[in-house]
Amino acid sequence: MKSVFFSAGPFLTFFLFFGCNSSQMTSNDPDGFDLTPGQLITQNILHNGDEREYQLYLPSSYNEGTAYPVLLNFHGFGGNAKDYFEYESNFQEVADQEAVILVYPQALLLSGFSVWNAAPFAEDNKTDFDDIGFIETLIVKLQDQLSIDPERVYASGFSTGGMFSYALACFCNEPIAGVAAVSAAQLNLVDCAPSPINVFIAHGTDDDLLPYYGSSDIASIDEVVSFWTSVNQTSTVAQESSYAFDKETVYQYTYSEGINNSQVMLYKVENGNHEWFDHEIRGQSFTYLIWDFLSTQNFSGSKD
């Protein structure tokens, strides 16, 4: 089985973010719930005796009479949920314009660095954190205390956060309607037992941390795409488009006509590095591309 846990050294260079000074609200009560639209709110929840933290952002238009979709966002190795909201993924504009509830869970520390348990059943796994159980508990809390659409819960992540999004698609896909992974490897191709689900992948060919073409420990992106097109039973021939930039070319591959109209979308960034991409495709940022793709599908299938 291709599985790997990365040492702290190479990841530290990329994933220790600057602290943010943005105003926010905090709820120290693990069972409390603040409802303040348009502000980032720190929340806590008890799971397996641990107080787990997450950031919550309600769209500015939030009201309890409407059922809202939820987008779970997972930071990378050594990262911080607040900083990921503020500096990296930039989903706030999407949340306000498209009326989406954003949730940014915080990973636990292992040897001083925050990390997600993205391969919970791997023999060489270095952590036993029950992150999947944490997310399942969190989704139940969101359903109980917010006005959400349980058919429209999605997951997105960068690097190890994207790895964990894949893990949710594998092992917690019943409440998850679609996942997106940016600059992320999938660590559980053997153990993964998912149902058909929309999958968005963006990866650079020059990624030196998680190589596009794989390694002895990591499946290639082509293998990951093949895995999910097989799960979804999509067409095997992709619809292709390309977009040229100064130093990079972005190739889009869309595999459609899967079970329940599921799709697999790959953005291959030629010469792209290990990053959250800032290219605009058809006038849209990758953040909007992710949401536009995920939002076409609810848990029961295509919304169209």
Query: What integer pLDDT is reported at residue 267 of this predicted model?
Result: 99
* Average pLDDT over every residue of 54-79: 96
| Number of domains the chain contains | 1
| Tens of pLDDT, residues 219-263 | 999 999 999 999 999 999 999 999 999 999 999 999 999 999 999
Asked if residue 8 has pLDDT above 80, the reply is no
Query: What integer pLDDT is reported at residue 300 of this predicted model?
Result: 76
| Tens of pLDDT, residues 171-203 | 886 789 999 999 999 987 777 888 999 999 999
**pTM (2 decimals)?**
0.88
Residue 133 counted as domain residue? yes
Residue 18 counted as domain residue? no
Residue 82 counted as domain residue? yes
Asked if residue 108 has pLDDT above 50, the reply is yes
* Average pLDDT over every residue of 6-19: 33
* Average pLDDT over every residue of 279-292: 96
Asked if residue 18 has pLDDT above 70, the reply is no
Residue 121 counted as domain residue? yes
| Buried-state track 34-66, b at ≥16 Cβ within 10 A, e below 16 | eeeeeebbbbbbebeeeebbbbbbbbeebeeee
Backbone angles phi, psi at 53, to 5 degrees: -110, 150
Asked if residue 207 has pLDDT above 80, the reply is yes
Residue 14 counted as domain residue? no
Query: What integer pLDDT is reported at residue 81 of this predicted model?
Result: 94
In the chain, the DSSP E strands lie at 25-26, 40-47, 50-57, 68-74, 101-105, 108-110, 113-115, 148-158, 178-182, 198-204, 239-244, 249-255, 264-270, 280-281, 284-285, 297-298, 301-302
Q: Which residue has the tokens 């973010």?
A: 17
Query: What integer pLDDT is reported at residue 17 of this predicted model?
Result: 32
CATH number of the domain that 186 lies in? 3.40.50.1820
Segments forming the whole domain that contains residue 72: 26-302
Query: What integer pLDDT is reported at residue 126 of this predicted model?
Result: 74
pLDDT band, very low/low/confident/very high, at 125 (cuts 50, 70, 90) = confident
Residue 147 counted as domain residue? yes
Residue 13 counted as domain residue? no
Query: What integer pLDDT is reported at residue 33 of this predicted model?
Result: 59
| Amino acid in the structure at residue 130 | D
Asked if residue 143 has pLDDT above 60, the reply is yes
In terms of pLDDT, which residue wins out, 55 or 9?
55
| Amino acid in the structure at residue 48 | N
Task: Supply the mean pLDDT for the chain.
Answer: 87
